[in-house]
Amino acid sequence: MRLYTHSISSNARRVNMVVAALNLDVEIIEINLASEDDRRRLGEVNPNSKIPVLEDNGFVLWESCAIMQYLADKTAQQRGEPDPLYPSDIQVRADINRWMFWACQHFSTSIAVLTWERIWKGFVTGQPADPREEARGCEELAQYASVLDGHLKGRTWLVGEHVTLADYAVAAPLMYRAKAALPVETYPNLLAWFARIEQLPAWQRSADPKAMET
């Protein structure tokens, strides 16, 4: 298998965590987003020109959560039993899927407003952050961080007693908590959960995609 990724992408970080957690044999192709040649190569495997992208014997898959599910299912098929990251129980899976979709549609998008304004905008456009956009991002993040914090009250992980794909999907954009000054300090359950995430070997290894190669 071949994985197109980059260390600055929180979407790629989700997949990188699964690769690390499952100890998968994956060739890492780190795309230089500043390189025209690399961007063209990325466009050849993903018409959206986005990372991550997985290639597996001619099968090409993009969208981070779809790749996460595929890797977990393929591993379960090869090993003869599902991994706790993605159990086979239909209701548990639905719960995990719910949080993965929520991460992509709500939590990540609110954080993306702040990471764009506070980190990437200056590099890409040379323009300063727009206070109105920052305020919008903070308002949206507060809404969804409250949901996450409330759900995590009395829980160790998002779904059940073990870390799952849901935790990886939701946690990934928090890699920019410090750099983008994400306003999450008033959510104690969220912070305690994220501290547990940061201690996981999969989180630590996935910070450097090349460290996942076996």
- Output the pTM of the full model: 0.93
- For residues 51 and 135, membership in a common domain is answered with no
Residues 80 and 182 in one domain: no
Domain shared by 77 and 97, yes or no: no
Q: What is the CA radius of gyration of the chain?
A: 17
Total number of domains in the chain? 2
Question: Is 120 found in the same domain as 71?
Answer: no
Q: How confident is the model at residue 212 (pLDDT cuts 50, 70, 90)?
A: low
Instruction: Give residue-wise pLDDT tens across range 64-91.
Output: 999 999 999 999 999 999 899 999 999 9
pLDDT band at 36 (very low <50, low <70, confident <90, very high): confident
Same domain, yes or no, for 102 and 55? no
Any idea what the CATH number is for the domain that residue 50 is in? 3.40.30.10
Same domain, 80 and 14: yes
Same domain, 98 and 179: yes
CA distance 64 to 170: 12
DSSP per-residue string spanning 151-183: HHTT-SSSSTTS--HHHHHHHGGGGGTTTTT-S
Contact between residue 76 and residue 82 where contact means Cβ atoms under 8 Å apart: yes
Give the pLDDT band (50/70/90) at residue 116.
very high
- What is the Cα–Cα distance from 119 to 114, expressed in whole angstroms? 8
Q: Determine the 3-state secondary structure of 28 from DSSP.
A: strand
Output the CA torsion 12→65→50→184 (10° steps). Answer: -60
Tokens coding 85: 């990251």
- Measured CA to CA, the distance from residue 206 to residue 157 in angstroms comes to 19
Residue 205: what pLDDT? 93
Give residue-wise pLDDT tens across range 165-190.
999 999 999 999 999 999 999 999 99
* 3-state secondary structure (DSSP) of residue 61: strand
Cα 92 to chain centroid, rounded: 20
Nearest CA among 103, 140, 125 for reference residue 15: 103
Q: Which residues contact 31 (CB under 8 A, 6 or more apart)?
A: 4, 5, 6, 38, 39, 41, 42, 51
Q: What is the reported pLDDT for 214?
A: 47
> Is residue 113 within 8 Å of residue 140, measured between CB atoms?
yes
Cis peptide before 52 (omega within 30 of 0): yes
Amino acid at 100: M
Residues 36 and 70 placed together within one structural domain of the fold:
yes
Domain of 20 in residue numbering reads as 2-85+207-212
Nearest partner of 48 among 28, 72, 74, 66, judged by Cα: 66
In a shared domain, residues 73 and 100: no
pLDDT at 209: 64
Q: Do 64 and 110 lie in a common domain?
A: no
Residue pLDDT, tens place only, 126-173: 999 999 999 999 999 999 999 999 999 999 999 999 999 999 999 999
